[in-house]
Structure 1
Amino acid sequence: MHFRPILLTLLLGLSASHAGLAAEQAPEGDVPATPAFQRYTQAAEELVDQAMGHLGIRYRFGGTSPETGLDCSGLVMNVFRNAIGLDLPRTAAEMARMGENIGRKELKPGDLVFFNTMRRAFSHVGIYLGDGQFVHAPSSGGKVRVENMANSYWAARFNGARRLIDDDEPAAAGMVLAR
């Protein structure tokens, strides 16, 4: 099992040299393709940055505007539209039917995380930031904030996660909807 790091280093080295070779061989004026993992990382970074820019915006039931207040799905809609140009459905339950279903251990920044906060599945949504943290618009009287998914309240209500950006397909307008 000691060969894994060496093999990974060799593969990364080969990928880097292959990418450099491809860039050198590209005809003048052509831009070499961006690797899928890099496109994913860029889209995820844009989503996280945009989400963090909404911190402190007041909660408003049914809210879809940062100026007048946001509810959980309004926050997610705004972030995805502004960061990567993707228009999402209005409710958390509708969002939960999109993209690829993923497990808690597979979460990556930019994934949607869902919670049962109203005695019904997928009644609350947030955006995963990494390191067990997510951003969301909590409830009346609250403001958009970051929470830890390990917090007993959220851990008990975790309902699932969806990945809407796909790292295996060419990017279209900065992102691709996962299958």
Structure 2
Amino acid sequence: MLFTYVARLAGRASISPANKKTAGDIPSIITRSLIAVAGALAIAAVHASPHRTNADATHGAPASPHVVSADSQESEPGDLVAEAVKLLDVPYRWGGTSAETGFDCSGFVRAVYDKALGPVLPRTAAQQAAATKKIARSELEPGDLVFFNTRRHKFSHVGIYMGEGKFIHAPKPGARVRIEKLGVKYWSSRFTSARRVQEVQVARNASASKAADGAGVVAL
């Protein structure tokens, strides 16, 4: 249809008695027409695509938590979960914070968030609980945090919710990063809180990173 339309324009430019353009002007007319039509088609394509907002990126299911990425672009659904799954089978290590040496529960959670969104979480499970927003268990979305009382402490263990009643975590010495069901009696009876990273945390991190980049230093 595009070429038919342009051909008609070219024909009108060359045969219309009222047209004062010369033959040399026809290519420029066609070029301008092509540009105009292509631009219109591009705009139409944008408006025809599903409209995404920050709310879509953070509330939709499956979705990332209520955050925006550190570079101020929308987080893609499942970014956090995708990063977490890459670390399946990494061995547990008390105090561990890397895939090379192993993870403990909070080290795993922090490493996943660091990779997907930048440094927005503190180090320990209790600190991560204090730094995030409490939500109802029924409000859990992929990427949210789930906390358990496994050592006589309300926030002694943490994992990342994956959706469909499952979470991924670094469980204990001798085990590896794995996926489990929240409904299993052991975890269900020890579940203490569902929590979510807030937009302000990531926005603050993004601002700090940009300021550091502007100063010529690397944000840690």
**TM-score using structure 1 length:** 0.73
Structure 1 106/34 Cα, relative in aligned 2: closer, same or farther at 3 Å? same
1:144 matched to 2:162? The reply is no
**Higher relative contact order, structure no. (Cα contacts within 8 Å, ≥ 6 residues apart):** 1
Deviation at residue 43 of structure 1 after TM alignment: 4.7
Deviation at residue 104 of structure 1 after TM alignment: 0.9
CA RMSD across the alignment? 2.6
- The Cα offsets for residues 50-107 of structure 1, whole Å up to 9 and x where unpaired, read as 0011100000000001100000000001000001113311100000012221111110
The equivalent of 2:28 in structure 1 is none
The question of whether the paired residues in 2 share the 8 Å contact of 1:47 and 1:83 is answered with yes
What is the distance in 1 between the residues matched to 2:204 and 2:130? 22
1:54 matched to 2:99? The reply is no
> Quick one: percent identity of the two aligned structures?
47
The question of whether the paired residues in 2 share the 8 Å contact of 1:48 and 1:110 is answered with yes
Aligned length: 145
What is the distance in 2 between the residues matched to 1:43 and 1:93? 28
**5+ residue gaps in structure 1?**
1-19, 25-32
**TM-score using structure 2 length:** 0.60
Which residues of 2 match residues 73-84 of structure 1 at below 5 A?
73-84=106-117
1:87 matched to 2:114? The reply is no
Give the AA of the match of 1:104. R
**5+ residue gaps in structure 2?**
1-42, 64-74, 207-220
The equivalent of 2:56 in structure 1 is 38
The equivalent of 1:117 in structure 2 is 150
